[in-house]
Amino acid sequence: MIQINDLNKKFGKLTVLNGLDLEIDSGGIFAILGPNGSGKTTLIKSVLGMVIPDQGDIKLNGESVLNKWNYRNEINYLPQIANFPANLTVKELIKMVKNLRPKKASDKALIELFGLEAFLDKKLGNLSGGTKQKVNILLTFMFESDLIILDEPTTGLDPISLIHLKEIINKEKERGKTILITTHIMSFVEEIADEIVFLLDGKIYFKGTSAALKKQTEQVDLEHAIAKLISKEL
């Protein structure tokens, strides 16, 4: 599904990605982990075409995507911050996104699942952070795509909505989708991810299961395993 070779990116004198190589097979849930400044966001935005690397290549299904744009229609992306136009209603935003993206959208079941019926005619600027995140999730999953990228998807969610999100992610996995998740919530990663990709200083220091990482670091939980890996590499 995804092949990344020798990816390099600098912002001024700061090296953010440093000869990064990564292969992710089709199907499954992959957690992209690392401390702040490790290169996670730059990696994700490079795959999305929002950041142009200085060197290297990114291939999706065997084809290079650098300096192209049409492939992005086959990716569902949930940004970390739900920055919506404050003056639009939820209903107007959904309609606008449907018009912008030339794909069939299925939003009714998601609206019902997250209890958004009562908010459809409300202005986005008047919604709580948690409700905005539910709208964010709706916009992400109402389209059919083989690759789904979720940047901190659990932010602001109440326990019931978090359960629904996990159900949706697992259902997409069962349908053969490839799901990349960035998050700082290690319990969420342990519960849902098939593999972990750990970044530090723009390089990959671990790729494998959480069980393998805990065994390697001799820790009983993922949070302490990650902490030990960071301290060891630093």
Query: What is the rounded average pLDDT of the residues 106-118?
Result: 97
- Do β-strands 63-64 and 203-208 pair in parallel, antiparallel, or remain unpaired? unpaired
Instruction: Give the up-direction half-sphere exposure of residue 36: CA atoms within 13 A in the CB hemisphere.
Output: 0
Helix (H, G, I), strand (E, B), or coil: what is residue 211? helix
Section 50-69 average pLDDT: 94
Cβ neighbours for 228, distance < 8 A, ≥ 6 positions apart: 217, 218, 219
pTM of the complete model: 0.94
Beta strand pairing call for 28-33 and 147-151:
unpaired
Work out the average pLDDT over 191-198.
96
Q: What is the pLDDT of residue 232?
A: 76
Amino acid at 217: T
User: What is the per-residue pLDDT across 94-109, written as a single tens digit (0 to 9) for each?
Assistant: 999 999 988 899 999 9
Query: What is the rounded average pLDDT of the residues 146-164?
Result: 96
Phi then psi dihedrals of residue 81, to 5 deg:
-110, 125
Mean pLDDT value across residues 157-162: 96
Mean pLDDT of 121-125: 97
> What average pLDDT does this structure show over 166-181?
97
Contact (Cβ atoms closer than 8 angstroms) between residue 205 and residue 199: yes
pLDDT of residue 136 exceeding 60: yes
Helices and strands, number each (H, E), in the chain: 8, 10
Please say if the pLDDT value at position 111 is more than 70.
yes
- 38-69: b (≥16 Cβ within 10 Å) or e: bbbbbbbbbbbbebebeebebebeeeebeeee
pLDDT at 52 over 90: yes
Residue 234 has pLDDT above 60, yes or no: no
**Mean pLDDT of all residues in 25-40:** 93
Res 1 pLDDT > 90: no
Give the pLDDT mean for 161-175: 97
Distance from C-alpha of 63 to C-alpha of 113, rounded to nearest angstrom = 36
Q: Is the pLDDT of residue 85 over 60?
A: yes
Average pLDDT over residues 223-233: 87
Number of domains in the chain: 1
What's the rounded Cα separation, in Å, for the pair 152 and 111?
21
What CATH number is associated with residue 43?
Answer: 3.40.50.300
For residue 74, what is the DSSP state? G
- Of 143, 145, 196, residue with least CA distance to 33: 196
Please name the residue that has the structure tokens 């629904």: 164
Give 220's contacts (C-beta < 8 A, 6+ positions apart). 214
Residue 195 has φ and ψ, to the nearest 5°, of -140, 155
Helix (H, G, I), strand (E, B) or coil at 59: strand
The owner of tokens 């795509």 is 145
Indicate the average pLDDT of the chain.
94
Question: Distance of alpha carbon 109 from its chain centroid, rounded?
Answer: 22
Q: Is pLDDT above 90 for 194?
A: yes
In the prediction, which pLDDT does 200 show? Answer: 92
Q: What is the pLDDT of residue 160?
A: 97
Residue 171 has pLDDT above 60, yes or no: yes
Terminal Cα-to-Cα distance of the chain (whole angstroms): 31
Give the residue numbers spanning the domain of 229.
2-233
Q: What pLDDT sits at residue 211? A: 95
